[in-house]
Structures are given as C-alpha cells and as structure tokens.
Amino acid sequence: MSFLILVVAIVLFIGLIITHELGHFLVARRNGVVVEEFGIFFPPRLYKRVTKKGWLFSINLLPLGGFVKMKGEHDTDVEPGSFGAASTWSKTKIMIAGVMVNLITGIFLLTILAWLGMPQIVPNQFDIKGASHVSRQEVLVYSVQKGSPAQKIGLKAENEIVALGRPGHPTTINSISDLQTVTKQYAGQRVEIVYRNNGNQRVKFATLQTQTIVASTANTKNPKGYLGVSLVSLTIKKYSWWSAPVEALGLTWQVIKLTFVGLGHALAGLGKIIAGIVTGNNVARQHGQKIASSQVAGPIGIFVILKDGSVLGYQYMLFIISIVALTLAIMNFLPIPALDGGRMWLMLISRAFGMPLTASFEELVNAIGMIVLLVLVALVTLVDVHRFL
C-alpha cells in the first residue's frame, strides 16, 4: 500500500510542476503572447513533440522544475505576440500565474484534508477550537532494526502497537513515551506484544534486549533499542464543512510564516559558512553548514520525504504535497533571479525607477541566478546524499 501511495505522491509532485507551468501557459495565451515551448523539468531533452497548434511540448532530464518559453521574452522585444510587447499588467499576471496556481492548489488540498482528516505535524499547528475532533490516534512502527526482537517476531513498518508488557496483562500503548517506559521496565524479559497488521490484531511474544546491551551501544553507529523499532505517533483531526476552509487558510498562513523563519535560519547558516571560510574557523563553518542544510532539501530529499510520508498513509502524503505546493508558491514569488519572482520584481523595479531593462542586463541577471541556483541544487543534493543515503 505504501508503494502505491509513494507512486501517487510522485505523480502529484510532478503535477504541481505541470499545473504551475500551465498557469503561465494559459495566462500568456489569454493575453496574446505566443508560447513556443511547454517543458516539464529542465533540459537536456528526453522527449519532444510539436503540437497541432505549433508549440513544442518537451520532457527533460533535470527534475528541477519546468518552464514555458514565450516568444520574445526580453522586456525590450516589441514584435507582436511577444512577451516584451505585452503590457506591464499582462506581464505581471503571466509571471505570477504559476504562484497563484500553486497557492490555490495548496489551500485546496489542505481544505480536502481538513474534511478527510488533517495530520497534526506542524509544531503548535493552527487549530480552530471546538470545530474538530480526533478521528485517529495511534502509535505506528516506522522502521525495524535488523536482528532486533521486533524483527524476529515479524513486526513491520505501518504496524500499530496496541499493548506491550507482562504476558497476560500487557500495558496499553497510547504514545511513544508509553512504549519507551514499558520496554525499559521489562528490559531483558519476555513480553507480550499486541499489534495490528492491516487492521488484523495479532499477539506475539518476544524477549527484549537487556539494559546492558542498550546502554553499551547507545553512542555507536548502530544503537540497539529494547524492542528495536523506531515509532511515529499519529494524530489526525477532522473538521466540519464550514471550518475546513478556515482551517486551511489558517494553516497556510502558519506555513508561510514558518517558511520565512526557515529561510532566515538558512541565510544565517550561509553567513556563518562564509565567515568560517574567510576566518579559517572550521567550527563556525561546520555549524553554519549544519544549520543551513537542515532547512533545505533537493530532489533526493524530496523523494525521501515523500517515501517516508507514504509509509504513514495517504493523509500524510497529501499534507506533504500541499506544503510543497505552498513552498513553490512562496519561492517563486520572492525576488530570486531566474525564478518567476526574480523576473517579475526586476521588471517592476525598473518600471518604478524609470530605468530601461535592456536585454543584455536581463540575460546577465537571469544567467547568474540560474548558475547560482544550479550550484545550490548540486550542493543540497550532496548534503541529501550524506543525510539520507
């Protein structure tokens, strides 16, 4: 089941890219701008086809986003049907269209989740008091250590641990701390474990690891647990029909604020890296690298996050996809060169100060932005490889 959810998650993630670019595509054509190419991901090309209406559809190799290539994309182009010849208002609408599609998609998914069941993931997550009820609360196995008591009795990811303890009188498990307390209490002893697998309740018996073994491996690369599982506590709330959209909007605003906080931490970490390199302070550099890398994820990181979410169920997967949609909206609105926001703000600032936006200057800014973006993606990917693989 988790594999199917993962496949759906990947399809939905690619769908976010397609709908983002579709926003640009539709608004451009509606405002009289000729679209020359609609691309999924970035070149080099893997597949291309010219449509009946004359524009090129392509699927490309680098999974870093997508693009819509329009006729005459320089601000100084004046040929009819070119992007440059469009009005300032039309250009703004075209460049912000992808942002709006991602924002609406994120809010829509969060509204659906509030009806179906909203996972409680974000710290102090926005909640409308009295408008929701807990529909699901359980402790699930997230992963199982090799050679552990849990593996020996066949416990697997997604199994729900119901009770554990003295045979015949196991203690009910309502939280991760409950399990930690009980397994420590019965360290080295034979215990009864009650769990659910695909809705079917089962009972197994296992001998837990001793306190000596757990303590002696605590600071090693392969620490052993008493039972040998990592757990996740799931809490899902359902909202009424009228409160679901309000919950989605409130959570969206909370995610936006947290995203800016995360960006602030990432920039602070980057500053420490630079300062550490300049001053030769390796401790500061490594500390900055740790802070900065903890706030970002590349293609590998996103895949791992989706894979982990798929283990927890479709609601968690949809939650992750909705957060990704909101994040795409935020990042493409910011004045980052080579992204939608960078191009839009560069144009608006040039208009505000009455400065002509020459083709050479525009190309230079976007080229530098793209190079920096690709370098950052490469660095983040290396960090993801070290962190996840």
Residues 111 and 258 placed together within one structural domain of the fold: yes
To which H or E segment does residue 307 belong?
A: helix 299-312
pLDDT, tens digit, 9 for 90 and up, residues 248-306 = 999 999 989 888 887 776 666 656 655 555 566 565 445 444 544 444 555 566 666 66
What average pLDDT does this structure show over 4-22? 87
User: What is the model's pLDDT at position 288?
Assistant: 44
Residues 118 and 8 placed together within one structural domain of the fold: yes
pLDDT, tens digit, 9 for 90 and up, residues 309-322 = 666 778 888 988 99
Q: Give the structural domain span for 28.
A: 1-130+242-389
Domain boundary among 239, 259, 286: 239
Phi and psi at residue 166, in whole multiples of 5°?
-60, 130
Residues 168 and 259 placed together within one structural domain of the fold: no
How many angstroms separate the CA atoms of 368 and 158, rounded? 46
Residues 177 and 142 placed together within one structural domain of the fold: yes
Residues 327 and 216 placed together within one structural domain of the fold: no
Residues 234 and 303 placed together within one structural domain of the fold: no
pLDDT, tens digit, 9 for 90 and up, residues 89-133 = 999 999 999 999 999 999 999 999 999 999 888 878 888 887 888
Residues 269 and 375 placed together within one structural domain of the fold: yes
Residues 325 and 273 placed together within one structural domain of the fold: yes
Distances in Å between the Cα of 193 and the Cα atoms of 87, 121, 141, 310, 374 are 69, 27, 13, 25, 50
Give 290 or 24, the one with higher predicted confidence. Answer: 24
Phi and psi at residue 362, in whole multiples of 5°?
-60, -45
Residues 193 and 320 placed together within one structural domain of the fold: no
DSSP characters over 187-202: TTSEEEEEEEETTEEE
Residues 100 and 209 placed together within one structural domain of the fold: no
User: What is the model's pLDDT at position 386?
Assistant: 63
Domain boundary among 239, 258, 282: 239
CATH of the domain at 233: 2.30.42.10
pLDDT, tens digit, 9 for 90 and up, residues 311-370 = 677 888 898 899 889 988 998 998 888 789 988 999 999 988 888 888 888 888 888 887
Cis peptide before 63 (omega within 30 of 0): no
Give the count of domains, the chain.
2
Distances in Å between the Cα of 326 and the Cα atoms of 79, 103, 173, 322 are 35, 5, 35, 6
Residues 34 and 57 placed together within one structural domain of the fold: yes
Q: How confident is the model at residue 135 (pLDDT cuts 50, 70, 90)?
A: confident
Position 71 pLDDT exceeds 60: yes
Give 136 or 15, the one with higher predicted confidence. Answer: 15
Residues 176 and 325 placed together within one structural domain of the fold: no
